[in-house]
Structure 1
Amino acid sequence: MDFSGKALHVGSLLRPPALLQARDRHAAGEIDAEELWQAEDQAILEALALQRDSGIGVYTDGEYRRNDFMSHLTAATEGFVTQAPVLDWNAEGEEQTKDDSILNLIGGGLRHRDRFTDREAEFLAHHAPGPWKLAIPEVTNFVVANWQSGVSGAAYPTRADIIDDLAAVIRTETAALARDGVRHVQIDAPCFTSFVNEKLIAVFEAEGLNARELLDRCIQADHAIVTGLRDAGVVVGMHICRGNYRGQWFNEGTYHGIAEEVFGRIPVDHWLLEYDTERAGSLDPIKHVPEGTTAVLGLVTTKTGELEDPDALARRLDEASRFKALEDLAISPQCGFASEVQGNPLTWDDQRRKLDLVVSVAQRVWG
């Protein structure tokens, strides 16, 4: 049996040291863009070999051409300014790592300026050993994290006002991907859980926004993006987590408050759902994933190198089958291993063991 549909991963992988060094040298002006691209190419070939050897599917390039999972869009879209938002990250214990990734605020009208996934797609089309996917960020991320009144307010008086223009940027890119023949697209949506995060709901309400109406607007935008892709024959997955930055997380709250609306109204082929800690809550919200749509349970954490017990993972999948048929379930890590360039606090070998574990559990459960 081919387990590529039952053993998946979210996408980003730890950057090899040689790639990190090349990035530093490029930033210092010691190598040009072409030399950096060559270093990225070589690193991606290593990432593809890692995935092939583990048996994980569907292939990605590890997001090795990006600073973080949204940076390719912000770099290619008019209206972003180089000013980082202030994000309140959570960590185990008391020590938190400051978010120094390159995140850009919205400072003007948003317009699609350049393609931002074409180079990634072209390389994967020539080098991936099997089916491959590209990931793009979802509208809600920018609504939550990239709008700030003093910087964005002149162009967009409220955070809700960015939705239509941002969705148009994403639709332009996804339409081009479909024309290019890309067959798998993943939409990364860590900020849907902001709508069950009491701190952020209070922020929205303090700004005079109704959180449920804001969620509804984002769902409508996503519905149009996903429908356009699927009408073009593209398989679409959507990933929901609670943020992933060097082992930290951004959002708190379970799926219960959003599952029926989000799962029921966005017509993806599969959902990749964070379920590695008690923060995610119980499994019963997956009953709202429509029949025929796969719920991919992110039971293996990427935030630490500690390896999960395969027996416990198999039991969780058995428990999930009370709410959704086993044939409509799959397993994955809870998020990427490196949503930004420095990555989470685990090693390359830890990463490989995690991928191997996902595949072995899939073989055990569905074999």
Structure 2
Amino acid sequence: MSRLTEHMDGFAAQAPSLEWRSGDHAEEDSNILRLIGGRLTYRERFTDREAAFLAAHAPGPFEVTIPEITNFVVADWNPRVSGPHYPSRADIVDDLAAVLLQEAAALAEDGVRHVQIDAPCFIAFANPRILGLFESAGLDARDLLRRCIEADAAVVRLLRDRGVAVGMHICRGNYRGQWFNEGSYDDIGADVFGGIPVDHWPLEYDSERAGTFEPLQHVPDGVRVVLGLVKTKTGALEDPDELARRVDEAARIVPLADLAVSPQCGFASEVQGNPLAWDDQRRKLDLTVSVAQRVWGRV
């Protein structure tokens, strides 16, 4: 996200104030985003460095990650700074989509064959606190969600039409062991899972904040669901029996052949990372592999 804001015009040198949460307290802290302060236009590539490095050094298939539109719709619009250029959050969707379509086309031209789209702010549309902000501003949250989904679907279709496999990762924020959003998939599952034609969904499912597996009924047949059951915010190791049990529970809704297991998110979604040591991360990855071998018999 920070690479995008640095490589396109329209972002002000001012960070938004985001309420990151950890346990029972909230902390105002952000250094990874910028407020929208002008018309958003594509200036130059923002994933070319990663794509070129991986193409030169990866021993096999590799993945490049790009951000998703709701990240900026939720976190980067401010009535005072952004309002003169975009009177409403909804007004930025088309310009953001144009930027991501250009970057997606460039990645396909680079020969990248796996792209992940990160969407930690979809859950904002199930978060009562943020829905209250939308309502107070006179926004129709369902219409805004629909517009974001349609724009995201256009990016996904462009990539898949050019032979790129696409996954979309939904979490609730992952910043120094904290999270930003709260809410289950229940209120957005039918719209999001049914409206964005990805190949697979890597989903946060490591805490009660994610809710049940019931919304997975809206995932189309043949689309893989990657269950993010292993925590990345703390170093405590999960019980492998419980992880296997939860995979079995999800398999009542999605066929086991279309399920996978993974860590919930990255161990370092920004440069300072989460409060895990290197050995903690290694143990988490080893646990993920062992559970996959136990459930599927292979990895």
Work out whether the TM-score is over 0.5.
Answer: yes
- Other-structure match for 1:224: 154
5+ residue gaps, structure 1, are 1-69
**Among 104, 110, 124, which residue is 1:174 paired with?**
104
Paired AA for residue 90 in structure 2: A
Paired AA for residue 3 in structure 2: H
- Other-structure match for 1:116: 46
1:210 aligns with 2:143: no
- Distance (whole Å) between structure 1 residues aligned to residue 62 and residue 237 of structure 2: 26
Deviations, residues 182-215 of structure 1 (Å, cap 9, x unaligned): 0000000000000000111110111111000000
1:277 aligns with 2:207: yes
- Distance (whole Å) between structure 2 residues aligned to residue 308 and residue 99 of structure 1: 29
5+ residue gaps, structure 2, are none
Detail structure 1 runs of 4+ shifted over 4 Å in the superposition.
none
Query: What SS does the aligned partner of 2:73 have?
Result: helix
Task: Measure how far apart 1:102 and its partner are.
Answer: 3.4
- Other-structure match for 1:185: 115
- Other-structure match for 1:76: 7
**Among 45, 58, 66, which residue is 1:128 paired with?**
58
More strand, by proportion: 2
**Among 167, 173, 196, which residue is 1:266 paired with?**
196
- Distance (whole Å) between structure 2 residues aligned to residue 300 and residue 102 of structure 1: 24
**Among 237, 249, 272, which residue is 2:167 paired with?**
237
Work out the percentage of aligned pairs sharing the same amino acid. Answer: 68
Query: What SS does the aligned partner of 1:224 have?
Result: helix
- Other-structure match for 1:332: 262
- Distance (whole Å) between structure 2 residues aligned to residue 160 and residue 353 of structure 1: 43
Deviations, residues 239-264 of structure 1 (Å, cap 9, x unaligned): 00111111111111100000011001
Query: What SS does the aligned partner of 1:226 have?
Result: helix
**Paired residues, number:** 297
Q: Is the 2:7–2:43 contact (alpha carbons within 8 Å) kept by the matching residues of 1? A: yes
Q: Is the 1:188–1:240 contact (alpha carbons within 8 Å) kept by the matching residues of 2? A: yes
- Other-structure match for 1:158: 88
- Distance (whole Å) between structure 1 residues aligned to residue 118 and residue 260 of structure 2: 18
- Distance (whole Å) between structure 2 residues aligned to residue 312 and residue 102 of structure 1: 34
Paired AA for residue 350 in structure 1: D
**Among 230, 233, 248, which residue is 1:318 paired with?**
248
Paired AA for residue 205 in structure 1: E
Task: Measure how far apart 1:99 and its partner are.
Answer: 1.7
Q: Is the 1:101–1:340 contact (alpha carbons within 8 Å) kept by the matching residues of 2? A: no
Task: Measure how far apart 1:287 and its partner are.
Answer: 1.4
How high is the TM-score relative to the length of structure 2?
A: 0.98
- Distance (whole Å) between structure 1 residues aligned to residue 12 and residue 283 of structure 2: 39
- Other-structure match for 1:142: 72
Query: What SS does the aligned partner of 1:273 have?
Result: strand
Deviations, residues 317-363 of structure 1 (Å, cap 9, x unaligned): 00110001000000111111111110111111111111111111111
- Higher deviation after alignment, 189-198 or 100-109: 100-109
Q: Is the 1:219–1:266 contact (alpha carbons within 8 Å) kept by the matching residues of 2? A: yes
Task: Measure how far apart 1:97 and its partner are.
Answer: 4.6
- Other-structure match for 1:51: none
Q: Is the 2:19–2:27 contact (alpha carbons within 8 Å) kept by the matching residues of 1? A: no
